[in-house]
Amino acid sequence: MAKGPWLENYPAGVPVNIDADSYSNLLEFVREQLKKYANKPAFECFGKRLTYKQVDQLSDQFAAYLQYRGLRPNDKIALMMPNLLQYPIALFGAMKAGLVIVNTNPLYTSREMLHQFTDSDVKGIIIAENFAHNLEKIIKDTNLNLVITTSIGELLGAVKGTLINFAVRTIKKGVPKFSLPNSVSFKKALNEGKKYEIESFDNPSHRVIVHQYTGGTTGVSKGAMLTNKNLVANMLQMRAWFGDKFSGEGEVALCPLPLYHIFAFSVNLLAMMSFGAMSVLVTNPRDIDGLVKEFKKNTVNAVTGVNTLFNALNMNEDFRKLDFSQMKAAMGGGTAIQKPVAEAWEKITGLRLVEGYGMTEASPVISANPFDGNARIGSIGMPIPSTDVRIKKEDGGIAGVGEVGEIQCKGPQVMKGYYNRPEETAKTIVDGWLCTGDIGLMEEDGYFRIVDRKKDMILVSGFNVYPNEIEDVVAGHPKVTESAAVGIPDEKSGECVKLYVVKSDDSLTQEELIAYCRENLTGYKIPRKVEFREELPKTNVGKILRRVLRDENKVG
Q: Are 332 and 310 in contact (CB under 8 A)?
A: yes
Secondary structure of 414-425 as H, E, C letters? CCCEECCCHHHH
- The domains found in the chain, sorted by start residue, are 5-19+224-453 (3.40.50.12780), 26-203 (3.40.50.980), 457-551 (3.30.300.30)
Q: Are 85 and 43 in contact (CB under 8 A)?
A: yes
What letter would DSSP give residue 544?
Answer: B
Residue 519's H or E segment, with its range, is: helix 510-520
Q: Are 211 and 200 in contact (CB under 8 A)?
A: no
Label residue 121 exposed, middle or buried (CB < 10 Å: 0-12, 13-18, 19+): middle
Q: Cα 47 to chain center, whole Å?
A: 24
What letter would DSSP give residue 140?
Answer: G
Identify the pLDDT of residue 217: 40
Residue 185's H or E segment, with its range, is: strand 184-185
Q: Are 327 and 310 in contact (CB under 8 A)?
A: no
Tell me the pLDDT of the chain (556 aa) as tens digits: 557 899 999 999 999 999 999 999 999 999 999 999 999 999 999 999 999 999 999 999 999 999 999 999 999 999 999 999 999 999 999 999 999 999 998 988 888 899 899 999 999 999 999 999 999 999 999 999 999 999 999 999 999 999 999 999 999 999 999 999 999 999 999 999 999 999 999 999 999 999 999 864 445 689 999 999 999 999 999 999 999 899 878 899 999 999 998 999 999 999 999 999 999 999 999 899 999 999 999 999 999 998 889 999 999 999 999 999 999 999 998 777 888 999 999 999 999 999 999 999 999 999 999 999 889 988 999 999 999 999 999 899 999 999 999 999 999 999 999 999 999 999 999 999 999 988 899 999 999 998 877 778 788 876 778 788 899 889 999 999 999 999 998 877 778 999 999 999 999 999 999 999 988 888 889 999 999 999 999 887 788 888 899 888 875 5
How far CA 238 is from CA of 231, 433, 549, in Å, comes to: 11, 20, 35
Secondary structure of 316-383 as H, E, C letters? CHHHHCCCCCCCCEEEECCCCCCHHHHHHHHHHHCCCCEEEEECHHHCCEEEECCCCCCCCCCCCEEE
Cβ atoms within 10 Å, residue 487: 21
Residues 6+ apart with CB under 8 A from 2: 16, 17, 383, 385, 386, 387, 388, 411
Counted residue by residue, the chain has a size of 556
Identify the pLDDT of residue 482: 94
